[in-house]
Amino acid sequence: MRVIDVAEVTAKIRDMAIESNYNVDPEYLAQIESAKASESSPLGRNILNQITENAELASAERVPYCQDTGLSVVFADVGQDVHFTGGSLESAINEGVRQGYRDGYLRGSVVNDPLRRENTKDNTPAVIHYRVVPGDHFVLYFAAKGTGSENMSMARMLKPSDGREGILRTVVEHVFESGGNPCPPILLGIGLGGSIEKAAQIAKWSLFRPLGRPNPDLLVADLEQDILKAVNRTGVGPMGMGGDTTCVAVHIETYPCHIGALPICINVECHAHRHAELEF
């Protein structure tokens, strides 16, 4: 049995919240740099330059990369041989978010109720997903998910007969209709299968995969590449102003589903790809 004091969790979540908002994923920025060479639109190249310049300034000046410092989303892989002391794990995670957004001068964007809409002023509570795994490992995954891109996410129940082409068509049409709203270049996390809520969960989880790493299933990896090419042919371009660089990567996760259903969820990520991972 491994013992972890929840005070350690609070401290780590605090740091993850701050650092992910100050320092955008370097793999994402490398993709943006690479896209500059092939971007045919002068305006598009100018926007890509502004994105990388903004990232450099945010990191150097220790300020948020974007004014929308996001909804805190946490995936926690909890080993079944781990025991927590000192209080509630969920309370510890939320306290880490509270401290991080306070100490990092990050905007509190959470309201306590979707109807009454009173701001909690500290960005809590986080959205937390727990997964029990074998052994004594404990891993935290943190995302600061901006609402511009989250608002452009969608879930739909396709028919099994829609198949591969229906999936591709659904994604491309949705990206085109979203235009500049999610602040492209975007990253697409796509969940296929399960139930409607499972598709949404695995779509969000796919955004934690190392950027551009293909799905290990070659059939799925091939679909990822076809969607990426088709999305970039839409011409939406950087910030929706036209060009070749609409999307930098497509990540698909799948799950078994009912014979009569083909659930799909598209979770859109903006160019502020703010993720952190830590294993205890």
| pLDDT score of 212 more than 90 | no
* 165 and 123 belong to one structural domain: no
CA-wise closest residue to 238 among 54, 43, 72 = 43
Task: Please tell me whether residues 204 and 126 are part of one structural domain.
Answer: no
Say whether both 182 and 202 belong to one domain. yes
pLDDT digits (tens, 9 = 90+) for 92-148: 999 999 999 999 999 999 999 999 999 999 999 999 999 999 999 999 999 999 999
Within-domain flag for 212: yes
Claim to verify: residue 131 and residue 186 sit in the same structural domain: no
Quote the domain boundaries for residue 154.
Answer: 148-272
Q: Is residue 8 predicted with pLDDT exceeding 90?
A: yes
Measured distance CA(259)–CA(160) in Å, rounded: 8
pLDDT tens string 134-190: 999 999 999 999 999 999 999 999 999 999 999 999 999 999 999 999 999 999 999
234 within a domain of the structure (yes/no): yes
Same domain, 77 and 131: yes
Count of domains in the chain?
2
pLDDT band at 237 (very low <50, low <70, confident <90, very high): very high
The answer as to whether 33 is a domain residue is no
Helix (H, G, I), strand (E, B) or coil at 2: strand
Same domain, yes or no, for 157 and 139?
no
Q: For residue 103, is it within any domain?
A: yes
Structure tokens at 40: 């045919």
**Measured between alpha carbons, how far is 194 from 277 in angstroms, rounded to an integer?**
25
In tens, the pLDDT along 40-78 reads 999 999 999 999 999 999 999 999 999 999 999 999 999
Any domain includes 206 = yes
Distance CA 91, CA 125 (A): 9
Last residue of a domain, which of 126, 145, 164?
A: 145
Q: What is the DSSP letter of 65?
A: S
Q: Are residues 175 and 266 in the same domain?
A: yes
Average pLDDT over residues 213-234: 98
Which amino acid, one-letter code, is at 117? R
Last residue of a domain, one of 145, 160, 183: 145
Task: Note whether 96 and 157 are same-domain residues.
Answer: no
Domain shared by 177 and 265, yes or no: yes
Please check whether residue 46 lies inside any domain of the structure.
no
The number of helix segments (H) and strand segments (E) in the chain equals 8, 10
Is there a contact between 189 and 153 (Cβ–Cβ < 8 Å)?
no
